[in-house]
Structure 1
């Protein structure tokens, strides 16, 4: 592993030989952070992302022997699809994270049945606001278009969801690259977390990250909003 601190932002890079090694090491870090929060306050909160990249991480984390009954898990973002849908992040978390020892964790979904995206966002925001904030851990991914969470280029509410002064914890967003309408945690909820992880794999995403770390508009590569506005260091975990 190589870890270096980058001067232009509060960012630490952790590079691994492969995705399996990354998953094991990141699972150790997340489990340790959650355990420390439980020891300090009696509870811990974790927000996770979807996609294929975190599956190995979720499987590794689910087997760590922490007091999962005191952990609340939620999602960084969600598609407006029911939990049984193959594109649901709720489904992904259920299949890969909320298993083994982590099956004891409490799960707070973002999707709300019978609502349009804007109504679902208001309901989900109430559920998030009821948690012990800030989150102890937020695990982000990143697309090759530079999106993270559901901060998509050309997103209908991109300016609002990436506003450091946004007063809502969850908002809806639609974008050309998003597929379904989405629900997303807003920037303030993400960047105030105790541990912020950007988990990416592959050379293509490494190249996008390199661009994001250089000067440029956040609307072009929205992940820059997190990199530029985080109040604690962003821990970048990467493997080829």
Structure 2
């Protein structure tokens, strides 16, 4: 794992852009295609905006979500909406997008369908962009959530899992989620964790091994790049 510190969010985003661009460019050159899995939240939004206008061969890049709330794509808290408004436009509009939400189905009912679709993406995933909540969750790996054990089981061969979180200040009202699994993270070439604030750094550096972020660290291993700004 590497841990890089920045004075501000602008510099953090610039560094993230450098890493993502290079990783996708290498994937395209070596394999003819590349993959980028994206988290929601305000921190990576500017990164997605910048990437959308880059000169990467987006027609050969698979873009997906690391997790999403089980809400319609036009919902203000939908990660799909965030990506469509930031990354999947300009040159980025040519990418092949893998959504999670399925209208008319629960996350559990849709997990096999979405799992089959994500399974068409070649492994290892080239880049996974993550964040972390103040409760130590990443992706939708919420502490004590229904479905967490399956999502974080190293022996689970699926890339996708359904999760029902416990209500908290972090989750808000949207408890039903779909998320990438331990296998997806373990089968990724570059995993970027973008964080801001002293409180989150304290949680990340906690000795509490029960926190989901500790499971993430195990899954990502030395492929984890932490980018932190105060």
TM over 0.5: same fold? Answer: yes
Q: Deviations over 1:119-141 (max 9, x none)?
A: 11111111101111221111111
1:202 maps to 197
| Alpha-carbon offset, residue 63 of structure 1 | 2.2
Contact 2:185–2:219 (CA under 8 A) maintained in structure 1: no
Contact 1:196–1:232 (CA under 8 A) maintained in structure 2: no
3-state SS, counterpart of residue 35 of structure 2: strand
Question: 1: distance between equivalents of 2:70 and 2:27?
Answer: 31
Contact 1:195–1:232 (CA under 8 A) maintained in structure 2: no
Question: 1: distance between equivalents of 2:181 and 2:62?
Answer: 18
Summarize the alignment of residues 1-240 of structure 1 with structure 2, pairs less than 5 Å apart: 11-176=1-166, 177=168, 178=171, 179-211=174-206, 214=207, 216-218=208-210, 221-240=211-230
Question: 2: distance between equivalents of 1:95 and 1:24?
Answer: 20
| Alpha-carbon offset, residue 151 of structure 1 | 0.1
| Alpha-carbon offset, residue 27 of structure 1 | 0.8
Contact 1:28–1:61 (CA under 8 A) maintained in structure 2: no
For the aligned residue pairs, the C-alpha RMSD in angstroms reads 1.2
Contact 1:191–1:232 (CA under 8 A) maintained in structure 2: no
TM-score for both structures, normalised by structure 1: 0.90
| Alpha-carbon offset, residue 73 of structure 1 | 0.2
Contact 1:112–1:123 (CA under 8 A) maintained in structure 2: no
Contact 1:24–1:60 (CA under 8 A) maintained in structure 2: no
Contact 2:126–2:189 (CA under 8 A) maintained in structure 1: yes
Contact 2:2–2:222 (CA under 8 A) maintained in structure 1: no
Question: 2: distance between equivalents of 1:71 and 1:228?
Answer: 27
> What are structure 2's unaligned runs of at least 5 residues?
none
Q: How many residues align?
A: 225
73-82 vs 158-167, which moves further = 158-167
| Alpha-carbon offset, residue 161 of structure 1 | 0.8
